[in-house]
Structure formats: C-alpha cells, structure tokens
Structure 1
Amino acid sequence: MPAVVLETDRLRLRAFTEADTDAVHAGASDPSTQEWLPMPRPGVAYTREDAHQWCVVHAPQARATGDGQQWAAVEAATDRFVGSFGFTRTLWQSMTTEMGYWVAPWARGRGYAAEAAAALSRWALDQGFERVELKAAMPNAASRRVAEKVGFHFEGIERNAMPLHEGRTDLALYSLIPGDLG
C-alpha cells in the first residue's frame, strides 16, 4: 500500500513513530482495551516493549509486506494520540481488506473512531478495494455502533471466532463495498 497521511476535520492519520510508544502502551494496555483486544496475545500482558515493537517494527512492516497499513490517529489541533487504525489481512487478488482499530480511553465517546474509520474506508475504496470488512466482538456495543455509523452493513456472526484473555467471543461481521458510499 502506498504510504499516505489522511486528514479529517479533527484528526490526522499518519505513520507510527518511536515517539508514539508511551501513548500506545498506555492505550493498548488499558483494561477496557484489553477486554476486547487481547494484545499482544491472550493471557499475556501488553508491555512498553510490545508498544515499541508495534511502532517501529510491526506497523511499518504491515505496509512493506502488503498485509495492510497502520495509522496513528492524532488530534490535528494538539497532536495528542487518539488511537490505532488500520487494515490487515489484505487479499490483493480479491481486493479485500479488514479494518481494525482501538481508541485511547480519554478519546472514547467523542466520535473519533467513526471519523477515522470513515476516512480509512473511503480511502481504501478509492484505491480500488472492493470490500472492507470490520469485525467486532458481539458484546462490544461501542465498536458495533462505529461500524453502523460509518455505513458498514451487518452480515452475520462468526461464532466463537476470537480468543480473549479469558474465554472466547463471537464476532459481528460487517462490510462496506463501493456501492455503499452513494
């Protein structure tokens, strides 16, 4: 994928840098983030080193390998870190990709997730992607509202699809295709 910076009314979505390490660690290790996204893997605590590796190795590597692209979302006015947004599991032959994100606890409830998700979705479809998927844990009402607010269509439930720190959860599957943008 091409390296690109995206701008919305309130956000700038840019590449991760080493300077994002502490903000990523704070947001990703927060219990409310970990409830739905067991990073780095189920049963393992998220460390500052995990955040550092994400910022300087894994996020840039996603674009370089063609798996997807990751953006650090920051407030345009303050440069304060808002969250992580990106694409993964990109299938180039079928031009499909999956969106994933998390938002720092301080930034939740402000519409930032929907704003960033809408910008990324539009960008992907403008690049020629035919389908963007978004999956959210069934009980994660906030993430499901983001998908619906952006215009993703609910397609169904992937049963027992994702491990959590304790147990597993069903995933709600949403999609957005070019005709949905109207």
Structure 2
Amino acid sequence: MPDAPPAQWILPTVILETERLRLRAFVEGDIDDVHAACTDPELQRWVPVPSPGTPYTREAAELWCRETTTLLRTSGDGQQWAMAERENGRLVGCIGLLRTLWPAMNTEIGYWVSPWARGRGLATEAAVAVSRWALDQGFQRVEIKAATENAGSRGVAERAGFTLEGVERSAMPLHAGRADLAVYSLLPADLGR
C-alpha cells in the first residue's frame, strides 16, 4: 500500500459560499439527488460515472456520498463539494478539484449540474468560487477540461475567466466512444487583467 501523502498535500475541509450556493461536504441526505442527477442521460453523455460503460446505481451514489469524496481529499487528489442552494439546501450539482499535481501546484476543476438546476449559471458561480479559492491556497495553475462538443461545460470555463489553450485529442473515454478535450487554464496573473 502506498504511503499516505504529506499533510501539506491534503486540502482542508472548507465550506465555500457564493451569492446562491453553499459548497459543502456530501451528506447522507444527498444520496437520492446524486443518484437522480448521475443517471440523467445528458449528464451520462459527458460524465462517464461511475466509469465508462458502467451504469450508475444507487450503490454508486451511496459510496460517493459516504466514502469516495473523503478518500479523494485524504489521498491528496483534491477536494469535492456538493453544490447546494443556499435558499433551500437542495443539492444542485457537484464541483471539485481533482488530479492535483502538488509538486507543480496545478489542479483541475470538474463539475456537473443536476438536471433540475441547469441553465441558471450555478456551475459558473461555483467554478469562480473554487478556482479563486484554489489560487488563494497557492496553486499556480487551475484547469478545466471539457469535451469539445460540450458547449455548456465550455461556456462555464469561459464565463469563469479561464483561457482556452488548445485541444487534447481523444483524451477522455466516455460511455460511448472517446472525446477530444478543450483545455482551459486560470493563472494567478490572469486575475490582474
């Protein structure tokens, strides 16, 4: 078994708040909404959860809420937040830092939005909050990667102030085939523009 990551490579458990969202840990009460969101055909088209070619089950939602998100943080991979509406507390999506490269201080943002909350700019609001928080933690590069055909996800990156750098060809396995990924970045210097 690999050694545990150094303590400085584990992000703190924090709650972030925006005008409309509370970004918090996943809880038992989120399981049904996670399952409903992750079985949505449009989400499944672009986010191959739990893995390419594997159907999403209630058990997968339970594992995500009870264990996986904590393990991702304590392994040093990053941090996952439930996107909950501040007004009523309902889960409206997920956003997180992942594939964190600590020696380089680079990390990537991944997100999905529940079908009942799409089209309201919530992912952009969350991406702004998480990316700025990551830069405040000392990260020197924050990325968002989205399938080139996924206009919604690409729009989030652009509205959140990320710069398109290029395309990684055939970089992501989906449930049906593979996708090219548009690569966006945000650097500390970008915030001064």
TM range (shorter): over 0.9
Mapped contact 1:136–1:172 kept (Cα < 8 A): yes
Q: CA separation in 2, counterparts of 1:181 and 1:76?
A: 26
Instruction: Figure out how many residues of one structure are paired with residues of the other and give that number.
Output: 182
TM-score (norm 1): 0.99
Mapped contact 1:86–1:100 kept (Cα < 8 A): yes
1:161 matched to 2:175: no
Q: Deviations over 1:36-87 (max 9, x none)?
A: 0111111111001001101111101111111100000100011011101001
1:144 matched to 2:154: yes
1:180 matched to 2:190: yes
> Match for 2:47 among 30, 37, 58?
37
Mapped contact 1:14–1:73 kept (Cα < 8 A): yes
Mapped contact 1:35–1:164 kept (Cα < 8 A): yes
1:94 matched to 2:104: yes
Taking only the aligned residue pairs, the percentage that are identical comes to 63
Mapped contact 1:103–1:113 kept (Cα < 8 A): yes
Aligned ranges for residues 2-13 of structure 1 at < 5 Å? Answer: 2-13=12-23
Question: Tell me, what secondary structure is at the counterpart of 1:181?
Answer: helix
Unaligned runs of 5+ in 1: none
Q: CA separation in 1, counterparts of 2:43 and 2:65?
A: 17
Structure 1 residue 181: Cα displacement: 1.3
Question: Tell me, what secondary structure is at the counterpart of 2:143?
Answer: strand
TM-score (norm 2): 0.93
Q: CA separation in 2, counterparts of 1:163 and 1:62?
A: 20
Unaligned runs of 5+ in 2: 1-10
Structure 1 residue 166: Cα displacement: 1.1
Amino acid corresponding to residue 168 of structure 1 in structure 2: R
Which residue matches 1:62? Answer: 72
Amino acid corresponding to residue 56 of structure 1 in structure 2: R
- Provide runs of 4+ in structure 1 moved above 2 Å: none
Which residue matches 1:116? Answer: 126
Which residue matches 1:77? Answer: 87
1:103 matched to 2:120: no
Structure 1 residue 156: Cα displacement: 0.3
Question: Tell me, what secondary structure is at the counterpart of 1:82?
Answer: strand
Structure 1 residue 140: Cα displacement: 0.2
Which residue matches 1:129? Answer: 139
Question: Tell me, what secondary structure is at the counterpart of 2:50?
Answer: coil
**Superposition RMSD in Å:** 0.6
Q: CA separation in 1, counterparts of 2:58 and 2:107?
A: 28
